[in-house]
Structure 1
Amino acid sequence: MLGIFCSSCDPPDSLRGGASPPQRRQGEHVADRSDPERAETEEHGILDEERVDTSGIFLGGSTAQVDVTLPVPADDDDAIDEDFDETTGRGRIAANLGAPVHTDTAEAEIIEDVDDTAVHTTDIDDTDTHDADIEDAVEDALEDAVAAHESEPAAPASRIAVPVAQPVRAVEPSPVAFDVTLASKRLGELEVSREGADVLTADRLLDPHHVAKVEPEGFWQSALYRASGTLINVGDSKKARERKELSKRIAAPLTGGARFVPVLSRKGGVGKTTVTTLLGMALADARDDRVVAVDANPDRGTLAERIARTSGKTIRDLVRIKDDVVGYNDLSTIVARDETRLDVLASDADPRVSEAFGDDDYRAAAEVAAHYYSVVLTDTGTGIVHSVMSATLERADSLVVVAGLSIDEARLASETLTWLETNGYGERVRNAVVVLNTTRPGSPLVRADEVEAHFRTRVRSVIRMPYDSHIASGAAIGFHEINPATREAARQLAAAVVESLRVPATV
């Protein structure tokens, strides 16, 4: 082991004012110390059993030698390895001296001893002007120590003697700064600044100064807009705003599966099939989803005759191929489609065949229709006790009851509501819509206001359908060719039905 001292540095306190203690050669023993000295020696971990001769290394000046031996339990040879981290020690010394860390264990022990002594020597006097001489001396001593170590066996790993020139003073390693930025991100917060395609909307991307404004509806509103060079836009007229608001009510989304709405009547000739056709056209014209009207009249129905296009197929054909329908294309070959995109499923034209159409057939057809349509209208037969009525009512989400403006027709419609209430359909009656259909021209013989007031006490809403000569002729109905008042009434009926499906009545 090595001891390195500075000749120009102040001698240690133990040597000031006296002569240098005689040097001991290997094998010599130290005289007995007094008890205080022994206690102090043992306190610093210095034992008397073994000594290391450092007289061979002398750089000049006064020297002082302190022997330090780390205590090691006799029964544990690996304790020094547990208490002393060789790699960490070399790393700290190399960090202070700026020397690379050596991986050779034997050579590292010598370098560690020399470097530690050099550190303590330079700490004696921080203001010493001979730092350069000390560094040269350390390098020379290091070379001599390495050469001596190569010719001598390594010291036992369990005992390490470190000669120093001063009492050991702790030297804290210089802190090593690492420029590492740690950040934690929760699930869903990764790449917060990244935008999806759904944010690229027209409102965000289009420059309003270059977007052509929609011309307002209305005579003078449109004239002012054009005269000002599209600079003045006062908005639509009141009538146009009401029409657009009504279209919005009809097109309101319906959540869930298909909704079934049967159209009922206790008396024939009140316009039940006509009301079904107008309601279906108004819904299909304003909505984006599919709407179908099913003719479930056990007698010969005429629903398919109220539209201009026919397919030649009937509901019987659908029941026959119901297990083979795998898509809308299979269904489209059976239904007939109107210009408003209303699909119609016709009944059998032969009364002798149609008499066999019953509840099971309707359920099979309704099951297929429920997969491809959002609204299913059912034109039932006259009365409420025929063979298909039971299956029709059990799937009903809302009801439309058609009444005429006569005393007997009004009574029959009111009795129909009573029958439904007494047979377990009271909630559907409160949510139903009654249509007062005018089938004859001129003023009705009864007071329509009184009839309307009566039904308003029992159902959700009441709609009046005016007389239309085009409809009364029995020809195919063109929705955009009928009287505007009739078309408006049909749209009001469609809005009332959609609202009954969206928000059921609570009264």
Structure 2
Amino acid sequence: MTGGGDWQHHLLRELTDVGSDGAPGVPSPRADVQRTDASLPEPPTTPPSTRPQPRDPRTPAPTPESAPTIDPRLAHALGSPQHGDSAARRAGASLRRLTASAGQDVAEQTRFAQELQQPVTTGRVIAVTSIRGGVGKSTVSALLGRTFNHYRHDPVLTLEADAALGTLPVRMGADTVRWSCGDLARILTPSMQLTDVTGYLVPVADGGWLLPASQGRVGAPLDVRAYRTVTLALRRYFAVTVVDCETLPGEVARTAMDTAHARVVVAPMTAEGVNGTRQVLDWLAQLPHSALATTVVALSAGAPDTTLDPKTAVAHLREPGVPVIPLPYDRHLAQGGPIHTAMLGRSTRDAAVRLAAEVMQRAVRVR
């Protein structure tokens, strides 16, 4: 990607420079890169009695211990990942591609790639939420994070702002987690460079970074102040941040949906799920700045035998300017565990790319 602005050029230089010891791939600090952005709003103030005291830079922050994302006693039970499409379906799809018009497919893929690679001058934040858990919210967040990282050549972050036992680290393929969003909120300083920040993040196997909400233990949930502190600060380092929010009407979810540049509402392919999502869209329309223009609905099929008519569901959710992207049932996603993009069904990959392109197109509209 080109034309993303000087800030992206400097970030890429930091990531690819040879370190001072001559080792390739080890970033070296750049004194000429400034990490301040006067346009970023300050986090909300709190009373002096509850306001966190600035950390003395001479005192190192306590380092949490790494924790596995899946108990080792259960890891072996995941089994081998299965392909999203059956062998017969893959064979049929290959035959259809041979007889179909290749030009139309290439033109559509090129258009999606151009939308995903749009340059940004400041980081874009994309919030993903739903009306209840278990509908594929973290799965959609992981798909978006991986898709953006595949198409873009600038830094991409996937951030978990869900409850203490969220599943995003597992879906992103992280073996262990250490620093959480709340931990990072307490140690962030304006002088930190990208190479400093990434030291607290989890590198994703196929690129990009992950910031979990916790170490997978029951504890205090992420609060609004910590969320705002982290997202406002990290926008200067990452071109795209995908936020896996808690479910609505949680306070952090409402804050994330209200302050994001674009939003994805995940709706399960059920009558009650579509009905509840319809109410979410009505709420978004009532926000002071009306967030509908930057909202996309992901209609997720969690079972292969859903009986709800897709056309009726889409029609019930349709709003002017709000696309509804169906995500088909996929055996690989339904299996749980880490998402391997090569194992996804063809229709799932196409839907993920289309969803990411639609939401990115809306995110860049916001100035």
Distance 1:425 1:503 in 2: 13
Distance 2:191 2:220 in 1: 22
Which of 453, 477, 482 is the aligned partner of 2:339?
A: 477
| RMSD of aligned Cα (Å) | 2.3
| Alignment TM-score, normalising by the size of structure 2 | 0.67
Matching of residues 76-475 of structure 1 within 5 Å = 237-254=103-120, 256-309=121-174, 310-323=176-189, 326-355=192-221, 357-384=222-249, 386-426=250-290, 428-442=291-305, 444-475=306-337
Matching of residues 67-82 of structure 1 within 5 Å = none
| Structure number with higher strand proportion | 2
Q: Give the counterpart letter for 2:182 in structure 1.
A: R
Structure 1 residue aligned with 2:13: none
Distance 1:474 1:450 in 2: 29
Q: CA deviation at 1:411?
A: 0.6
SS, match of residue 128 in structure 2: strand
Structure 2 residue aligned with 1:494: 356
Sequence identity, in percent? 26
What whole-Å deviation, never above 9, does each CA across 1:34-59 have from its counterpart, x for those lacking one? xxxxxxxxxxxxxxxxxxxxxxxxxx
Contact 1:298 1:358 in 2 (8 A): no
| Alignment TM-score, normalising by the size of structure 1 | 0.49
Q: CA deviation at 1:377?
A: 1.4
In the superposition, relative to structure 1, how do residues 351 and 422 fare at CA in structure 2: closer, same or farther (>3 Å)? farther
Q: Give the counterpart letter for 1:395 in structure 2.
A: T
Contact 1:298 1:388 in 2 (8 A): no
Structure 2 residue aligned with 1:50: none
Higher RCO structure, 1 or 2 (CA under 8 Å, sep 6+): 2
Q: Give the counterpart letter for 1:371 in structure 2.
A: R
Q: Give the counterpart letter for 1:382 in structure 2.
A: T
What whole-Å deviation, never above 9, does each CA across 1:56-114 have from its counterpart, x for those lacking one? xxxxxxxxxxxxxxxxxxxxxxxxxxxxxxxxxxxxxxxxxxxxxxxxxxxxxxxxxxx
Distance 2:268 2:173 in 1: 26
In the superposition, relative to structure 1, how do residues 458 and 319 fare at CA in structure 2: closer, same or farther (>3 Å)? same
Distance 1:425 1:303 in 2: 30
What whole-Å deviation, never above 9, does each CA across 1:464-500 have from its counterpart, x for those lacking one? 1111111111110112221121111100001101111
Gaps of 5+ in 1: 1-218, 220-234
Distance 2:209 2:187 in 1: 18
In the superposition, relative to structure 1, how do residues 349 and 458 fare at CA in structure 2: closer, same or farther (>3 Å)? farther
- Residue-pair matches, total: 266
Distance 1:296 1:367 in 2: 14
Gaps of 5+ in 2: 1-93, 95-100
